[in-house]
Structure 1
Amino acid sequence: MQADQSGEGPGAGNLPLETDVFVGRCAELASLRQTLEVSRLVTVTGVGGVGKSRLAARVAARCAPRDGAWRVELSPVRDPAFVDYAVVEALGLTDHTTRPPRETLLAHLADQRLLMVLDGVEHLVDPCAALVNDLLTRLPDLRVLAVGRRPLAVTGERVFPLAPLGEDEAARLLVDRAAQQGLVVEDGREVRALCRRLDGIPLAVELAAGRLRALSPAQLLDRLEDRFRLLTGGGRDVLPRHRTLRTAIGWSHELCAPEERLLWSRLSVFCGQFDLEAAEYVCSGGGLDADDVLDVLSELLAQSVLAREESAAGVRYRMLDTVRAYGAEWLEATGDAVRLRCRHRDWYVGLATWCELEWFSPRQQEVAARIEAELPNLRRALDHCLTEPDGASLGQYLAGSLWFCWAGCGRLSEGRHWLEQAVRLEPGQTAGEQFRLKALWVLGYVAILQGDTVPALAALQECREEAERVANATAVAYAEHRAGCLALVTDDMARAETLLRSALERYQEIGELNSNVLMGQVELAMTRAFQGDLPDAVRLSEDVRRVCEDHGERWARTYALYVLAYAAWSEGDPVRARELLTECLNAAHAFHDLLGSVLTIELLALVTVTEGDAAEAAVLQGAAAAMWPSVGLPLFGSAYFHAPHQRCEAMAREQLGDERYEECVGQGARLGREAAVSRALGQACEGPPPRPPGRAGRRRADAQVVLRPGNQRA
């Protein structure tokens, strides 16, 4: 569900073009495009492996509307309640508020003309139908292309049944796939007979082509013939094509060596991509040594059972869903499924533990990429923990340990979903109380960042009371820290300072030092800056920056840079402020930290108007205004955080006049998030208007103030 940009057409969205030959589907391609032009909802149906996803991706890339075509991969989603979250994630939307994901979609897509491809809807027909019906009713410029083995049965739906390839097309596909392996295969009698026996199902044909390294078409045909009766699955009411596909996969399975079949079945516990280390841990034992996993996995790659993929997290592997489902059936038949699911859970609990520790290190960016790649498996592990008997404590531990993902990588809404489930469960053992306490303060933290103060306060109070009852000094410190953070964003500076100083003292007493602790010091620096003590704010922030640089920490450092930039502007140095804010925005955006990004853009707007470019400052304010609803209340509803915005608006209106100011704000509001960040960084500016002579000096002098609520000067 990643938003990798396609290179074809305007706004091609996250649908990558296929680089291989699109064999045998020219007529269907044209027909589906025509159908999509006259209907807002088209569902491509057909047997598994018939090429539905491939056709939909090609059509979407070819006829993407103004704002793009986006693919939502639903096959890894098991919980119907998570469908909306999956769509939000696939569209690259970041929302820090308490709005349900459906409302987030409606808000973000209100003025968008885009095509949404929902791929793999068959196991989630009811929630997908409800979502599609709601979106199409309320978003007149949206089109939906669904892909599944059955229609959604939504009013206005056009069903596009995709048949298997004809004999000629299937033969061309087999010959083409053989050629990609460096093999020369003639389109002769045996090839055509083989394609007929496979009913022209592309997946089955490609599996057969993968065997041509070892067998001739005639040998393949003989072996397939021998297994039709043996491996045909399902009852009399099952469609022959379904049985044929199962036969083709089962035949490929039969041709595997015993250790290859074993690994195939065990790899089915993974969701989405996985890496070699995970496979070696999860799948070893019981007849397969860890040292042998790589060799066996390589054989499965050679046979097209697995696909190798490059990602920001390194080399990873993926199994086709139909192939995974077949392996899962065999795993259940072996009686080893429970053990493998537990090993899968344990691996990802261990991974989350490692990532939490490494978050406070030079590998922070690597951790962010790794977590992004591992989210489908982490979700499966969370679901396993929170639904299995005696899994409560481990689920609370896992949800709490991923705080850096929820807060640091812009996944507040999803984090809230898992944390609320976790804290509702009673810990399974006395030692598990500490895990629930952690989940509580992380829940409070996430709710604060969403601007949801009442649930945040309730979670933190419960955490504090329980932590004091069981004498858990660490949980007390974190609960106090986050209570101070809550006071900060609600403008109670005196209370915020008291709580934050106390929490920092507690951290020092217990020897706690990590990104959270440094954020506590940054938040204390904010209280000092907002109360007019800029030297103390600078001292605290410089100390945080030094510690961050010593440890390679970048996320907390961005907020320290923000405070330093705030101080630089207030002291009349907009050039220095811009340097700091540019560095700050680059880092915040890289972590998908929407709060850090929008705060920085607001302050950059103030710096820009100070430099004499009121029009560009208004554009940046408009861009920030479009982002704030996804963070929470604009600027938290805080007079202190709102002061730079008010000051910038007053200066810009004075220079531009109300009409021109609103025009520039509207221009900024129409920018997408990526474009807004690029604009703020000066990478996509249309060019500022000439600066009036003599104005810059006056703006610099005018900047020498400390901002207070209500735009008062200190």
Structure 2
Amino acid sequence: MRCAGNLPAETTSFVGRRRELGEAARLLGVSRLVTVTGPGGVGKSRLALRAAAAVRGLFPDGAWLVEASGVQDPSLLGHAVLEALLLADSTVRPAAEVLVERLRDREVLLVLDGCEHLVDACAELVDVLLRGVPGLRVLATSRQELRTGGEHLLDLPPLPVRPSPAGGAAGGPPGGGGAAGGGTGRRDGDAVALFADRAAAVAGGFRLTPENEAAVAAVCRRVDGIPLAVELAAGRLRTLSLEQVAERLDDRFRLLTGGARTALPRHRTLRTAVGWSHELCTPQERLLWARLAVFADGFDLDAAEYVCPGGGIAAEDVLELLGELVAKSVVVREASDGVAGGARYRMLDTLREYGAGWLRSLGEEGVIRRRHRDWYLGLATWGEVEWFSARQAETGERTRLAHPNLRAALDFCLTQPGEEQVALHLAATLWFYWVGCGHLGEGRVWLDRALATAPGATAARAKALWVTGYMATLQGDLERARPMLEECRRQALDTGDDLALAYAVHRQGCAALVGDDPARAAELFEEALWHYEKLGELNSNVLMAMFELGVAALFLGETDTAGHWLERLREVCEEFGEQWAYAYCLYGTAYAAWLAGDVRTARREARECVRLNHLFRDLVGTVLGLELLALLATEPGADGSPGDLREARVLQGAAHRIWQAVGIPLFGSHHFRAPHDECAARARAGLSRPVSAEAFREGTGLDLDAAVARALDGPGPRGAVRRGGRGPRTPGGLPARGRG
């Protein structure tokens, strides 16, 4: 059975560290917080992942990796943890509070990797989580301790190099250390074994022999057995002999020592090793290395070719230079799943930091970061355009892969004077990702920050206002949404910005709809659609106005009007291949079909609604469909079999859990809540209170993927009693409808 979690598979063999692995397992048995400390390049991340993989079977809810190194803003650390744990949350609540709530009854191992640059934020978050989640254990890696209560430290030293009695490597038979490669299985020869393993990978004819073992040991000793340095040295065997490696390393070792006397020797040694690798690069390769350091995480060739040329590097040279950096193990080529384009690349954190230092020393940091920002602004702008097409899923995935770099671009805009309008524009342009791909909470963080820095009446601010108001509405936060949308409307009228006016009116209609005023909502939607048609505006937002007008008509009992707008929406979606708004259209048609007594059509449309929304990770659309499927579960089957009230309560429990990641359940709206209340009333009429409560609890235990699978495929064999039928109507419930 596959264990839960997201620990990555190892791509190279793990060498040595048997004692440290055993100690890590022991400490995790006695402490809820274990921090692996040591210098950069010593192998903290690799050891933590191997240790986590060894013990993850003890954690029923899985072992999960959070790469803290990709987060630069401390306020987003909690959001990164939520994202890694697949606990999408779009509320305005602090992420730490949400994590405690969602993990409280779980037994989880959290691997928090790369904490040193956010050590205070990591310490604070870990302290809150450990206090609030009894079943949580944390395995952190950091160059310095977190200094929070109950922390146990595992200081990771460099790999040992077998001492030589007469200036060479000692002989002797291999031991049982489990090291890979050659004849140095003894634990005190782990560095030599690592060199042999990596050298064999890059130079196919290399093998450790009695004749070369002394030279290998000498190289390993000169880099103090630090794994990154050992691997870099082994990588040089692509182009140099072992003797040349030893000679050149000896030169650079002497040349590059002499850092701060107060620095730890192993820190100076790592800089020597990385500096030596840097010296072996050509001037163009070194320059590309420095410029690539602006990427917060993975990047693709197109991004590198835009950001890095100029001043010594031609655009057409980037591909070849990047290939050389991959060959020199400075850049890692990642496997591509083919969903969003070609190969992707990334640098190890230590190498990226080294490159960033060179970039600063060259005086190019500001220029390259601005170019980086421009690329990701372009990616967001094109993504907004592409969202209204048959390529929506690809656009969402491409934006997801760019998420860490988009954060870096937004952070640059918000910390550089004069960039405030760009910050507004970028944060607002990403509405399709914040809303359509389940990131309402983080989107609100960026937009609130951007709005606070640029209070002047500009087109960028107008867009940011309606986008933020829209997201606040979806969270049920009408107290915040309404004044923002009214400010946008007033500014649009004052400045003659007809497009902003259309969007402001449209989103005011959304606020009226979830605020239980469907008549006013319908008026506003009709006005917005009139503006859109006059301006020639047609995109996914316009399609959502058609959906929302259709739903408002359903709430008013105007089924013909609803049918007209939902059919119009379906036609446009089919014409342009649009899937996201189409998923919402399916919710509307499923709702209308249920009202008309066509249960079979309602089930089919609602299931497809859930499937498509889940594809985009749109929590709002997913949970609306789930609520409707819960109600439909109470209906008799096509064969006359009774409805399944217990399964309906399971689905309601699953929906309840998802609502906690969105905001106020069912937006706090009486009209949107009507299917939920009808379903609950039927369950009360046909189930005992203990059975109903137990089924609801079962549903709250399902994560998002499991809840969707349950809704689409039904429960597994459990011998549940199926009871059925229509229970009593709730007061002020759904409009009258036919029976099928």
Normalization by structure 2: what TM-score?
0.91
Larger mean CA deviation between 276-285 and 683-692 belongs to 683-692
Partner of 2:518: 493
Q: Name 1:391's counterpart in structure 2.
A: 419
Cα separation, 2, equivalents of 1:378 and 1:532: 44
Q: Is the 8 A contact 1:608 1:616 kept in 2?
A: yes
Is 1:630 aligned to residue 661 of structure 2?
yes
Pair 1:443 & 2:468 matched? yes
Structure 2 counterpart of 1:670:
701
> What is the 5 A alignment of 1:211-222?
211-222=236-247
1:427-479 CA distances to partner (integer Å, 9 max, x unpaired)? Answer: 78x8xx10111011101011111111111111111111111110000001101
In the alignment, is residue 578 of structure 1 matched against residue 566 of structure 2?
A: no
Distance 1:663 1:567, change over 3 A: same
CA contact (8 A) 1:385 1:394 kept: yes
Q: Does 1:143 align with 2:128?
A: no
In the other structure, the counterpart of 2:208 is: 186
Q: CA deviation at 1:27?
A: 1.8
Match of 1:472 in 2: 497
Alignment of 1:52-71 (within 5 A): 52-64=44-56, 65-71=59-65
Answering whether residue 201 of structure 2 is matched by residue 173 of structure 1, we say no
Among 265, 269, 287, which residue is 2:312 paired with? 287
Residues in 2 aligned to 1:567 and 1:472: alpha-carbon distance in whole angstroms: 36
Q: Which amino acid aligns with 2:355?
A: G
- Aligned equivalent of 2:111: 117
Corresponding letter in the other structure for 2:386: E
Distance in 2 separating the partners of 1:17 and 1:630? 29
Contact 1:616 1:688 in 2 (8 A): no
Aligned-residue offset at 1:506: 0.6
Partner of 2:340: 313
For 2:78, which of 84, 87, 97 is the aligned residue? 84
Deviations 1:482-527 (A, max 9, x none): 0000000010111111111101111111111000011011000000
The answer to whether the 8 A contact 1:643-1:708 is kept is no
**2:7 is the alignment partner of 1:15:** yes
User: Share of identical aligned residues, percent?
Assistant: 54
1:188-587 map, 5 Å: 188-232=213-257, 234-311=259-336, 312-314=339-341, 315-426=343-454, 433-587=458-612
Q: Deviations over 1:214-239 (max 9, x none)?
A: 11222111101111232226310111
Query: For the residues of structure 2 that align with 1:621 and 1:561, how far apart are their CA atoms?
Result: 20
3-state secondary structure, aligned to 1:215:
coil
Q: Judging changes above 3 Å, is the alpha-carbon distance between structure 1 residues 690 and 93 closer, same or farther for their aligned structure 2 residues? A: closer
1:72 counterpart SS class: strand
Q: 1:604-663: per-residue Cα shift (whole Å, max 9, x none)? A: 011111121222112111111222222222212211111111111222232223332222
SS of corresponding position for 1:512: coil
Instruction: Encode CA deviations 1:383-409: one digit per residue, 9 max, x unaligned.
Output: 111111110111111011000011111
Q: Take 2:28 and 2:555, find their aligned partners in 1: how far apart are those partners?
A: 55
Separation in structure 2 between the aligned mates of residue 636 and residue 323 of structure 1, nearest angstrom: 47
The residue matched to 1:42 in structure 2 has which SS? strand
Alpha-carbon distance, 1:206 to partner: 0.7
Q: State the distance in 1 between where 2:376 and 2:276 align.
A: 33
Matched letter for residue 579 of structure 1 = R
Tell me which amino acid in the other structure corresponds to 1:402: L
Question: How far apart are the structure 2 equivalents of 1:651 and 1:539?
Answer: 31
Count of aligned pairs: 695
Q: 1:687 to 1:572 in 2, by over 3 A?
A: farther
Pair 1:664–1:171, CA change in 2 (3 A): same
Distance 1:404 1:708, change over 3 A: farther
| Deviation, structure 1 residue 713 | 3.5
Contact 1:538 1:563 in 2 (8 A): no
Q: 2:125 aligns with which of 128, 131, 153?
A: 131
Q: Given residue 174 of structure 1, which amino acid in structure 2 is its aligned partner?
A: F
What's the counterpart of residue 3 of structure 1?
A: none
Question: Whole-Å Cα distance in 2 between the matches of residues 688 and 492 of structure 1?
Answer: 44
The aligned amino acid for 1:666 is R
Query: What is the one-letter code of the residue matched to 2:122?
Result: C
Q: Distance in 2 between matches of 1:347 and 1:708?
A: 55
Report the 3-state secondary structure (helix = DSSP H, G, I; strand = E; otherwise coil) of the residue aligned with 2:71.
coil
- How far apart in 1 are the matches of 2:205 and 2:523? 74
Q: Is the contact made by 2:425 and 2:461 (CA closer than 8 Å) also made in structure 1?
A: yes
Q: Which amino acid aligns with 2:3?
A: P
Tell me the SS of whatever aligns to 1:63: helix
Indicate conservation of the 8 Å contact 1:646/1:711, yes or no: no
For residue 531 of structure 1, report the CA deviation from its aligned partner: 1.1
Return the offset for 1:211: 0.6
Q: Deviations over 1:361-398 (max 9, x none)?
A: 11110010001000111111111111111101111110
Q: Distance in 2 between matches of 1:328 and 1:683?
A: 52
State the partner residue of 1:5.
Answer: none
1:70 aligns to what SS in structure 2? strand
1-structure distance, mates of 2:201, 2:490: 65
Superposed, 1:645-664 pairs within 5 Å as 645-664=676-695
Q: Is the 8 A contact 1:605 1:620 kept in 2?
A: yes
Superposed displacement of residue 191, structure 1: 0.4
Superposition RMSD on alpha carbons, in Å?
1.8
Indicate yes or no: 2:70 matched with 1:43: no
Measured after TM superposition, the shift of residue 712 of structure 1 is 5.9
2:158 is the alignment partner of 1:164: yes
Q: Which residue of 1 aligns with 2:173?
A: none
- CA gap 1:97/1:86 in 2 versus in 1, 3 angstroms: same
1:391 corresponds to which letter in structure 2? E
What's the CA shift for 1:684?
5.1
Letter in 2 for 1:361: S
Q: Deviations over 1:198-219 (max 9, x none)?
A: 1111111111111111112221
CA distance in 2, matches of 1:331, 1:629: 44
The residue number in structure 1 matching 2:174 is: none
- Contact residue 45 and residue 149 of structure 1 kept, 8 A: yes
Please, what TM-score do these two structures have when normalized by structure 1?
0.95
1:18-52 Cα offsets, whole Å, 9 max, x none, are 14221011221111111111100110001111110
| Residue 600 to residue 233, structure 1, CA distance change in 2 (3 Å) | farther
Aligned to 1:49, the other structure's residue is in SS state coil
SS for the counterpart of 1:23 is coil
Farther-moved stretch of structure 1 (167-176 vs 91-100): 91-100
Amino acid at match of 1:10: C
CA displacement at 1:708 relative to structure 2: 8.6
Greater alpha carbon shift after TM alignment, 617-626 vs 286-295: 617-626
Separation (CA, whole Å) in 2 of partners of 1:19 and 1:305:
16
Q: How far off is 1:419 after superposition? A: 0.4
What is the SS of the residue equivalent to 1:143?
strand
Q: Is the 8 A contact 1:118 1:144 kept in 2?
A: yes
CA separation in 2, counterparts of 1:575 and 1:211?
A: 66
SS of equivalent to 2:346: strand
For residue 179 of structure 2, what is the aligned residue in structure 1? none
Q: 1:242 to 1:284 in 2, by over 3 A?
A: same
Q: Relative to structure 1, is the Cα distance of residues 628 and 225 closer, same or farther in structure 2, using a 3 angstrom cutoff?
A: same
Which runs of no fewer than 5 residues in structure 1 stay unpaired?
Answer: 1-7
